[in-house]
């Protein structure tokens, strides 16, 4: 069923809550997704049972009022940015970058490239984090990797593990050597690492993905954890800025712990 788009009009409310005549402004779903991203509870209605149903009902209205009182950023009504553009807030994935899809997990990578996302990098991943922590949208849309069936142009980020999995990659580690470890001329930065958990938390919240070693993991963990043979991938098993952390599980446990904390308490982001 097609949804009309509505503009907020507090003076002349309609039967759909505080939204009135059809316009080209934000849809109710856009507002609801942003409320979810900010951590507000809007129920379990809708096709994904996440409260995003296009009906601006009581819970959505209460969440909107709470966001206004709290002074949270208003949802942007700009059109969806094209692939390759940057998010305004690197610590939060824009709702328009997270279309409806059946997603069961996330694989974290590094690009083995430079600190900026190249066209080639963007073709392989859904989301990328550059050296300064800036979030970049990849060319493939997340819904192309739907668990119900891959679609043409999907992100081929992990061998035999793309259906239902989102690929998130940190732009770094060109010229790196696994053993003896050398981070190379484009090492992973602390800024990238610090943004990663917030991105993972946003994605897990949107797609109802539990944070476990089998559902949120690095490329280096795929073979050992999921039993899917890879080709000697070691991203991410070392942190250039913290040589004391060694091994894929050690790294994965760190970003899972932080992402889980943010998922439980979005205000910590």
Beta bridge partners of 107: 167, 217
- Give the model confidence (pLDDT) of 84-132 as tens digits: 655 544 447 999 999 999 999 999 999 999 999 999 999 999 999 999 9
Contact 211, 263 (CB under 8 A): yes
pLDDT the model gives residue 71: 57
Would you say residue 32 lies in a domain? yes
Structural domain count of the chain? 2
Q: How many Å apart are CA 26 and CA 46, to the nearest integer?
A: 18
Would you say residue 88 lies in a domain? no
Q: How many Å apart are CA 161 and CA 213, to the nearest integer?
A: 15
Contacts of 172 (CB under 8 A, 6+ apart): 110, 111, 113, 114, 115, 131, 186, 187, 188, 189, 192, 240
Do 121 and 47 have their domain in common?
Answer: no
Do 131 and 255 have their domain in common?
Answer: yes
Would you say residue 206 lies in a domain? yes
Do 11 and 105 have their domain in common?
Answer: no
Do 149 and 192 have their domain in common?
Answer: yes
Contacts of 192 (CB under 8 A, 6+ apart): 129, 130, 131, 133, 170, 171, 172
Do 150 and 258 have their domain in common?
Answer: yes
Do 63 and 149 have their domain in common?
Answer: no
Would you say residue 1 lies in a domain? no
Residue 34's domain comprises: 6-70
Would you say residue 261 lies in a domain? yes
Would you say residue 241 lies in a domain? yes
Which DSSP helix (H) or strand (E) runs through 251? helix 248-264
Buried b (16+ CB within 10 A) or exposed e, 76-107: eeeeebebbeebeebbbbbbbbbebbebbbbb
For residue 77, pLDDT over 50 is answered with no
Would you say residue 133 lies in a domain? yes
Q: How many Å apart are CA 112 and CA 238, to the nearest integer?
A: 13
Q: How many Å apart are CA 226 and CA 222, to the nearest integer?
A: 5
- Give the model confidence (pLDDT) of 153-200 as tens digits: 999 999 999 999 999 999 999 999 999 999 999 999 999 999 999 999
Do 121 and 230 have their domain in common?
Answer: yes
pLDDT the model gives residue 69: 61
Do 47 and 112 have their domain in common?
Answer: no
- Give the model confidence (pLDDT) of 219-236 as tens digits: 999 999 999 999 999 999
Q: What CATH number is given to the structural domain containing 263?
A: 3.40.80.10
Do 256 and 160 have their domain in common?
Answer: yes
- 3-class DSSP assignment, residue 2: coil
Contact 64, 13 (CB under 8 A): no
Residue from 185, 124, 166 nearest 259 by CA? 166
* Domain end residue (candidates: 70, 103, 126): 70
Do 180 and 240 have their domain in common?
Answer: yes
Would you say residue 163 lies in a domain? yes
**What's the whole-model pTM score?**
0.68
């Amino acid at each position: 069923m097609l949804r009309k788009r509505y503009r907020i009009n507090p003076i002349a409310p309609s039967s759909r809550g505080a939204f009135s005549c059809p316009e080209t402004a934000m849809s109710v779903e856009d507002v609801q997704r942003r409320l979810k991203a900010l951590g507000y509870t809007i129920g379990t209605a809708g096709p994904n049972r996440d409260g995003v149903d296009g009906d601006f009902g009581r819970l959505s209205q209460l969440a909107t009022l709470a966001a206004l009182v709290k002074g949270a950023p208003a949802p942007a009504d700009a059109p969806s940015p094209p692939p390759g553009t940057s998010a305004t807030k690197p610590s939060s994935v824009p709702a328009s970058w997270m279309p409806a899809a059946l997603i069961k997990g996330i694989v974290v990578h590094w690009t083995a490239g430079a600190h900026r996302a190249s066209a080639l990098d963007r073709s392989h991943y859904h989301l990328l984090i550059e050296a300064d922590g800036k979030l970049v949208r990849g060319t493939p849309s997340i819904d192309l990797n739907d668990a119900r069936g891959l679609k043409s142009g999907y992100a081929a980020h992990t061998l035999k593990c793309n259906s239902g999995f989102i690929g998130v990659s940190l732009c770094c580690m060109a010229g790196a050597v696994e053993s003896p470890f050398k981070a190379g001329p484009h090492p992973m930065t602390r800024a990238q690492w610090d943004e990663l958990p917030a991105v993972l938390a946003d994605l897990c919240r949107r797609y109802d993905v539990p944070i476990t070693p089998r559902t949120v993991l690095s490329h280096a963990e795929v073979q050992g954890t999921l039993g899917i043979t890879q080709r000697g991938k070691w991203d991410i098993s070392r942190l250039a800025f913290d040589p004391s952390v060694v091994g894929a599980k050690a790294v994965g446990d760190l970003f899972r712990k932080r992402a889980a904390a943010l998922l439980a308490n979005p205000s910590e982001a």
